[in-house]
Structure formats: C-alpha cells, structure tokens
Structure 1
Amino acid sequence: MLIALNKPYGVLCQFISDDGRPTLADYVRQKGVYAAGRLDHDSEGLLLLTDDGRLQHRLADPRHKQPKTYLVQVDGAIDDAALAALRRGVVLNDGPTLAAPAEHATEPDWLWPRDPPVRFRKSIPTSWLTLTLREGRNRQVRRMTAAVGFPTLRLIRVRIGDYALDGLAPGATRVLAR
C-alpha cells in the first residue's frame, strides 16, 4: 500500500506525540503504514506512507536520490544570482550541497491559506521559487535559501519522484498505485 498525505503545517511527522501536538495519526487511518521520509512540523505538503519496507527505503534513502521538489516562499525578492548559487550548490555548515534545480515561481492559485498565516511585513516583499533536491539533509531547503540571503517563510513539498501532490487538500490522503 502507498498513501499520499498532504501534511498540514504544525503536524509532527510521527504517529505519537508526548505533548499533545497533532501527528500523522490524526490524518492517516490505515494501520501498519510508515512515513517514507519526513517533513518538519513547520513544513507542508506531500508525504508518502507505505507498509512496504523496500519501497519505503527506495523512496526515503538519500542513496537512491529520489528528486523532491519544493515550492518555497522566501523573505525578499529573490534574484537571479541567488538562484544561480542554488543551482550550483551552496556550502552549509555540514558541507557543500549538490546542485539543485531552482527557478522563479509565482504563488499558485491552488495554494491553501496557512494557519497561522506567514508573517506579513508591508515594507519587505516575498517571492516564490521551486527547488528540487536529491539529498535529504536536516532542514536543507531552509538552510540553503538562508545561505543565499533569502530565508524561507513557507515550505511546501509538491513532488517526490513520480508522485505529486496534484490537488490533494491539506490533511487529505489518497491511495496511490505503485
């Protein structure tokens, strides 16, 4: 079984919480499935869950280099130089990243409002980009955009390999064909 979940903002990427925060158990009713990878509690979007250990390993293990594409809202008007730096790879405190396709994007019309909303500052614009990674370091997208001078405000994973979010509402699940 393979399930797509549009993980909402603030949901822990686990099934149990010691402090009462929302978890995957609040959204996924199928038993015996496990997340194939993770999303931080302050990230949103596509999360795959499966009951097949080999499939979970293939989807989540960075050695298999499954491309993961993110829609990213950043603080400021991101420029071509910053995108070029992301495309080449940037140096983080745990070493250089792989090159990552990065492009300007516009806020999509299908995007749901976030609760709580992203902070609003009238004098500082925000902008959107898409970024595709083939490695899976902790908070990598956020660290990469900060390294080029544009901190991440909102992070939504829209694709993992061949699987896409494709109109799935926040908190909703869909059973996928493998």
Structure 2
Amino acid sequence: MPPSMPLDFAWLGQGPALDLANTFVPAQQADLLGQWSESRQKELSLTELRDLRATVTSVLEALAQGAQPPEEAIEKLNVISAEAPLHTTLRDGRLEVHEPFAGAVARAVFALAAGHETVATCRAPGCGMFFVRAHPRQVWCCHGCGNRARVARHYARAKAEKERVDAVERPNGPITEGGR
C-alpha cells in the first residue's frame, strides 16, 4: 500500500481555487471541505461549496491534462463572477477591498485557465492534489510528497533486490525445517 498524505497537511497557499479543489483528496477518498470551510469562508453553505468545488475541479482536471476546460463549467464560473463582483470602499483614509468568496474562486480559475501558469496533479502516492508548477519538471506538490515518493521508490527497489538475491541464493525455493 502506498504511503499516504497526512490529512492535516498545510494548504499549499496557491489561491482559493486550488485550495478549494484540494479539500477532496482522491487517493484517500477524504473530504476535508467541512473543516476547511469553518476557517476559510462563511458565505456559502456546504452544498454550495461542494457544487463550486465540482465545477472548479472539472476545470483544473482539464488544465492539468493540457485540455480545454469544459464549456459548461466556464459558463457557470462566468455567472458566479458576474454575480459576485469585486468592489472597494474608502473608510477612514484606508482602501478596503471586498471580494465575495465565490467570485474570488471564479477569478482565480480564470487566471489559471488563461495559461500563464501550469496546473498539475501531484504524482506522489496517496496525494493527487492540484498545484501550480514552479518549473516544467515539477511533479510533486510539495517537498513532503517528493520525499514520500522517493522513499516509496527506494523501498520498492530494495525489496525487489532482496527478492532477487533470495531467489539466486535458494534456487530450489525456500528452505524448510525438514530440509528442502
């Protein structure tokens, strides 16, 4: 069984769209939306968040595969963005920016879909989170996943080598108490 990502992981901090999509860990079938929502936003119900997450995830999956995002998902995000506009106010000489959560997520998806950054899916065993690549060869979302993947690969190689050596040392099968 592959090592799995701890479910109390620190968020990657790559924007609201990726954080929202990453509240579901496919490799572990773990849904962290409830606990994430409690500390991140209060505007949307869990049902609304699940619907928004499904839309965002469909776009991110397409982007990670180098495909065009589903048109219906983009249209849905266009509507969300239009209904949740960014606005500013000036209070006591301070500029305050107000951005409804759903609108922030939609605009973050649009920025990713515009192609200025590359979205990928972490290849570490037990992860599968979306992330923005820092460089073209990056395949893991964080150092922890890279370390777990390297450890798993080393363990698999060491195990295969041990089995190969054991097979060479005992060509007629394992030695039992009564001899061979």
TM-score, normalising length from structure 2? Answer: 0.25
Tell which structure's C-alpha radius of gyration is larger. Answer: 2
Larger RCO, structures 1/2 (Cα 8 Å, 6+ apart):
1
- Is the helix fraction higher in 1 or 2? 2
TM-score, normalising length from structure 1? Answer: 0.25
